[in-house]
Structure 1
Amino acid sequence: MWRIKVPPKVLKLVWRALSGCLPTNSMLQQKHVPVVACCPVCDGESESIIHALVLCPVAAQCWHKAFPEQSAMVATDFFSWLDQALYKLDAWKRSEAVTLCWAVWKARNEKVWNQRMARIDAVVSSAAQYLKQWKEAQGRSSILPSQPFVASDGVSLWVKPQEDTIKVSVDAAVFSDFSAFGIGMVARNSSGHLVQAKAKLFQEMATPALAEAMAIKEALSWTKQEQWEKVVIESDSLVAIQAIRSQVPMRSLFGQGCGGL
């Protein structure tokens, strides 16, 4: 399993499940935590590890949508089930399978803590997108040349801009459950005082990288509208910043978003 190429937190989640220490309700009850053992998603059977990740009706629909050939597999524990599943899959499909385990558990936690249940297609697509973006990030050095860093890159605290300069900090968030993404912008002056703030919601799906690029583009439009003369745009998206600095043409929605800057 450790040879599967997926994000570390995905491997950690699956390893906890294989080790029998994933905090499902039945496991918590065994540790004398005062919780009800039934599944918080389907409110049916006791929430064992294999139930939470595989057998729960919601999880089962996710697996049927992503891996219809695995639907007929029968196992009494998660270890046996995953062993059978991985044995039949190639390297890429193995990565998708363990990432889907992570996405199913993430959706389960969203139901437990925020009382929101993601759609089946949203859970499956979020797993696929997360894995794809991680794989692309691992090989990004072969796509984008190394970009020189500037003095302010990587700072952990907000730094005041120069005199008579406005600094606009931007960020974006993707809401997969609602097929939407939002951006936020905060403008502060050289004294650190708030000048203006703005948020905007887009009713369409976007990757995190594209959402961050759009946030920067919207911030530039905002500064033009407000007629601020000296402006610094600040983003925490290294991917977007490197793409803007790069001279490599990118034929994608992300590239078009950056190209418009």
Structure 2
Amino acid sequence: MTMDNCLLHMKEEVNADNMAQVAMICWSIWKARNDKIFNKIAPDSSKTVELAINMRTDWLSHQPPSTRTSSVPSDPSWTLPPTGFMKLNFDAGWSGEMGSGFGMVIRDDEGRFQIAATHYEDCILEPLIAEACCLRWALNLAVNWELDGLVVASDCQQLVKAFHCPADFPSLRHILLDCHQMVNS
């Protein structure tokens, strides 16, 4: 069973608050992995789990009492998808020296966390190209997971413009055509 399939299975079997803790554990593992690769720090599994628990506790302590569950995010600019849909948010991060990191999260029509994933590309990408590659990666995951009824959201206005007019962005054209094909599937 792949990690993707494992997380999808867990999403069906585990309540939202516990699934949020799983997300924190995955994030802690990612941080430990980055420390190993970039800082040559040997991972310590007990410290990784402790970090996840502390991050979750810290996050919850900063939420208003009425929102201390895994429901709607506190960011007022985030909006719920229409009823019956899920929302896929994605973002890319990059370093001019190391590579590019991709992340995505899917929430349901009540704002509850469903699934998240991260990916690292060991190559240097221009920021807009990294965002486009992140979109293609996230859509590919959604297709592989056989998810329907997705609203896709990005904070990169230039990528949104490029998605709607790929011909105006020759350097992104092939990536965006792949994205269009996945959206249409």
Specify the TM-score bucket, using the shorter chain as the normaliser: 0.5 to 0.7
Indicate whether 1:175 and 2:95 are aligned: yes
Does the Cα contact within 8 Å between 1:250 and 1:256 map onto a contact in 2? no
Indicate whether 1:157 and 2:77 are aligned: yes
Q: What's the secondary structure of 1:229's corresponding residue?
A: coil
- After TM superposition, the structure 1 = structure 2 runs for residues 239-250 of structure 1, keeping only pairs within 5 Å, are 239-246=158-165, 248-250=167-169
Within the candidate set 97, 104, 109, 1:185 is matched to: 104
C-alpha displacement at 1:176, in angstroms? 1.4
1:40 counterpart residue number: none
Please give the root-mean-square deviation of Cα atoms over the aligned residues, in Å.
1.9
Q: What's the secondary structure of 2:174's corresponding residue?
A: helix
TM score, norm. by length of structure 2: 0.53
1:103-159 per-residue CA deviation (whole Å, 9 max, x = no partner) reads: xxxxxxxxxxxxx9xxxxxxxxxxxxxxxxxxxxxxxxxxxxxxxxxxxxxx96110
C-alpha displacement at 1:220, in angstroms? 0.9
Within the candidate set 199, 203, 210, 2:122 is matched to: 203
C-alpha displacement at 1:247, in angstroms? 5.3
Distance, in Å, in 2 between the alignment partners of 1:247 and 1:256 is: 8
1:219 counterpart residue number: 138
Distance, in Å, in 1 between the alignment partners of 2:164 and 2:76 is: 21
Cα pair distance change 1:249/1:259, threshold 3 Å: farther
2:31 counterpart residue number: none
Distance, in Å, in 2 between the alignment partners of 1:259 and 1:156 is: 32
Does the Cα contact within 8 Å between 1:181 and 1:203 map onto a contact in 2? yes
C-alpha displacement at 1:250, in angstroms? 3.6
Greater length-normalized contact order (CA 8 Å, ≥ 6 residues apart)? 2
Distance, in Å, in 1 between the alignment partners of 2:120 and 2:166 is: 30
Question: Which amino acid letter does the alignment assign opposite residue 168 of structure 1?
Answer: L
Q: What's the secondary structure of 1:159's corresponding residue?
A: coil
Does the Cα contact within 8 Å between 1:161 and 1:167 map onto a contact in 2? yes
Distance, in Å, in 1 between the alignment partners of 2:151 and 2:112 is: 15
Distance, in Å, in 2 between the alignment partners of 1:205 and 1:256 is: 18
Question: Which amino acid letter does the alignment assign opposite residue 163 of structure 1?
Answer: T
C-alpha displacement at 1:251, in angstroms? 3.0
Distance, in Å, in 2 between the alignment partners of 1:250 and 1:169 is: 22
Structure 2, unmatched stretches of 5+, are 1-37, 39-74, 180-185
C-alpha displacement at 1:222, in angstroms? 1.2
Distance, in Å, in 2 between the alignment partners of 1:171 and 1:247 is: 19
Work out the percentage of aligned pairs sharing the same amino acid.
22
C-alpha displacement at 1:188, in angstroms? 0.2
Question: Which amino acid letter does the alignment assign opposite residue 165 of structure 2?
Answer: S
Q: What's the secondary structure of 1:214's corresponding residue?
A: helix
Distance, in Å, in 1 between the alignment partners of 2:160 and 2:170 is: 17
1:223-261 per-residue CA deviation (whole Å, 9 max, x = no partner) reads: 111111100111111111101101535432x22222221
C-alpha displacement at 1:185, in angstroms? 0.1
Does the Cα contact within 8 Å between 2:162 and 2:168 map onto a contact in 1? no
TM score, norm. by length of structure 1: 0.38
Distance, in Å, in 1 between the alignment partners of 2:166 and 2:93 is: 27
Question: Which amino acid letter does the alignment assign opposite residue 159 of structure 1?
Answer: T
Cα pair distance change 1:213/1:156, threshold 3 Å: farther
Q: What's the secondary structure of 1:177's corresponding residue?
A: coil
Question: Which amino acid letter does the alignment assign opposite residue 255 of structure 1?
Answer: R
- After TM superposition, the structure 1 = structure 2 runs for residues 1-261 of structure 1, keeping only pairs within 5 Å, are 157-178=77-98, 180-246=99-165, 248-252=167-171, 254-261=172-179
